Structure 1
Amino acid sequence: MSTFPAGASVKRVLAFAAHPDDIDFGAAGTLAKWAGQGAEVTYCIMTDGDAGGFEPGDRSGVSDLRSSEQRAAADIVGAGQVHFLGERDGFLAVGHEVIGRVVELIRRVRPDVVLSMHPERNWSRIQASHPDHLACGEIVTRAVYPAAENPFAYPELAAGGLEAYKVPWLWFYGAPTERENHAVDITRELDRKLAAIRVHASQHPDIEGMDRSVRGFLQENAQRHGLPAGASAEAFHVVGVNTPTTIAGF
């Protein structure tokens, strides 16, 4: 299993999520850390979030509200661009059309790290495994390998100037704990992460309760990965796709 090198330089990151707010819960602290070190951070949200929230009645403005919340949260983290694929919330499915759109974005951004939700169900906390989350993980995984690096996949992209690109690292958030192999100390970024989450006010009927829960999860992550007492951490399943230790085709 490839291990992410300590002190490795991350210059460009492309982070995927199923819904507005997923990235902020799963990885905003790590992304804020990278952005603070000068990395270019780009978000891609796959669905329009229209099934979120708690208010009945007129739902016509939900997608626009959630998009504006995500842009504001991205500003707090330091993400430069936010892309919305506009798939229907609750109906995200693995298919070649949406995989092609993800491949296009990967080839355009050419990131050092692709960040995604995990494609495996987490039976310890099934709320982390919304079907859209699992679909997001599978779509991104298929796009990263082999499609983005295969010059004969989606030939219309190459014809348009988007040449094949080999992604070095694929980081999953929301992974089952048995898959976690890397933790990032985000103690210094904790306030920014929580601020980004709070922006998604339409999704939180109990802001203070949410805050307490997130703090608890992050401290548990830190303890589980051997960080100092009182630290907060985000945990990931890191996969080396094209690194000095990987061999093409194996």
Structure 2
Amino acid sequence: MSRFPADTPVRRVLAFAAHPDDIDFGAAGTLAKWADQGAEVSYCVMTDGDAGGFEPGDRAGVSTLRSGEQRAAADIVGAAQVHFLGERDGFLAVNHEVIGRVVELIRRVRPDVVLSMHPERNWDRIQASHPDHLACGEIVTRAVYPAAENPFAYPELESAGLQAYKVPWLWFYGAPRERENHAVDITAELDRKLAAIRVHASQHPDIDGMDASVRSFLRENAQRHGLSAGSSAEVFHVVGVNTPVTIAGF
């Protein structure tokens, strides 16, 4: 059952990921739909992706390649900005330095929806739970609540004019199935999602196999959540942080 009212206005969206390509696998169809509806979509990729790919050699070159792939994929989806935090791939840590940088970006963008990887391990498909993915989820969760909305957290941001901001909605992608509570029909956006994923060619030794697997996952998502036959869907764990029915924190 969805927790996200259909008439909720989405004007600004900020999507976080651990690595280049994570957003495109997890949420590119939904982000493309929002972009088409006029929302301003921004990405933030936390690591430099230097541990990705399959060829030995210049890791710095891999980082440059992957950041270029992410920018090109974002253009396909319709994302206006791509931010890179530049943390080391495979070593993303939940610490206050990184949390502070995420809080800063949230206060700058002031999004209606923040998207993130999920902080809980998925035991049914552990490949969805790379340690960097889990760290991304925990960093964003801590940044959204309470740090972004607490004017006394990271006071240097307040002093610089970045006032506290209450995020209305937090959407997690890559969630364990028991946490899923919202599906988005992306049948109309499927080709753009797959095109964005294919841009990350440095990460896919079998593009056709990847394409078939993603199509199958998305059809299965739609079936599991009761969408019409032949549909494709992205699925999320939606959390209301500051909504009309939210009880304020203590």
TM above 0.5: yes
Q: Which residue of 2 aligns with 1:214?
A: 214
1:8 Cα deviation after fit = 1.8
Give secondary structure in 1 for the equivalent of 2:247. coil
Equivalent pair of 2:15/2:42 in contact (CA under 8 Å)? yes
Asked if 1:199 corresponds to 2:199, the answer is yes
Q: Which residue of 1 aligns with 2:87?
A: 87
Q: Which residue of 1 aligns with 2:249?
A: 249
Q: Which residue of 1 aligns with 2:159?
A: 159
Asked if 1:131 corresponds to 2:131, the answer is yes
Give secondary structure in 2 for the equivalent of 1:60. helix
Equivalent pair of 1:2/1:245 in contact (CA under 8 Å)? no
Distance 1:5 1:88 in 2: 38
Q: Which residue of 1 aligns with 2:46?
A: 46
TM-score, normalised to structure 1's length?
0.99
Distance 2:128 2:197 in 1: 16
Distance 2:71 2:45 in 1: 11
Equivalent pair of 1:2/1:239 in contact (CA under 8 Å)? no
User: What does 1:182-197 align with in structure 2 at a 5 Å threshold?
Assistant: 182-197=182-197
What is the aligned length?
250
1:148 Cα deviation after fit = 0.2
Equivalent pair of 2:2/2:181 in contact (CA under 8 Å)? no
Q: Deviations over 1:131-185 (max 9, x none)?
A: 0000000000000000000010000000000000000000000000000000000
1:247 Cα deviation after fit = 1.2
Q: Which residue of 1 aligns with 2:70?
A: 70
Q: Which residue of 1 aligns with 2:234?
A: 234
Give secondary structure in 2 for the equivalent of 1:246. coil
Q: Deviations over 1:175-216 (max 9, x none)?
A: 000000000000000000000000000000000000000000
Distance 2:67 2:167 in 1: 27
| Superposition RMSD in Å | 1.0
Distance 1:91 1:177 in 2: 26
> Where has structure 1 moved over 6 Å in runs of 4 or more?
none
TM-score, normalised to structure 2's length?
0.99
1:57 Cα deviation after fit = 2.5
Distance 1:53 1:75 in 2: 22
1:121 Cα deviation after fit = 0.2
Structure 1: gaps of 5 or more residues: none
1:2 Cα deviation after fit = 8.1
Asked if 1:9 corresponds to 2:9, the answer is yes
Q: Which residue of 1 aligns with 2:119?
A: 119
1:59 Cα deviation after fit = 2.6
Distance 2:119 2:147 in 1: 17
Structure 2: gaps of 5 or more residues: none
Distance 2:122 2:58 in 1: 33
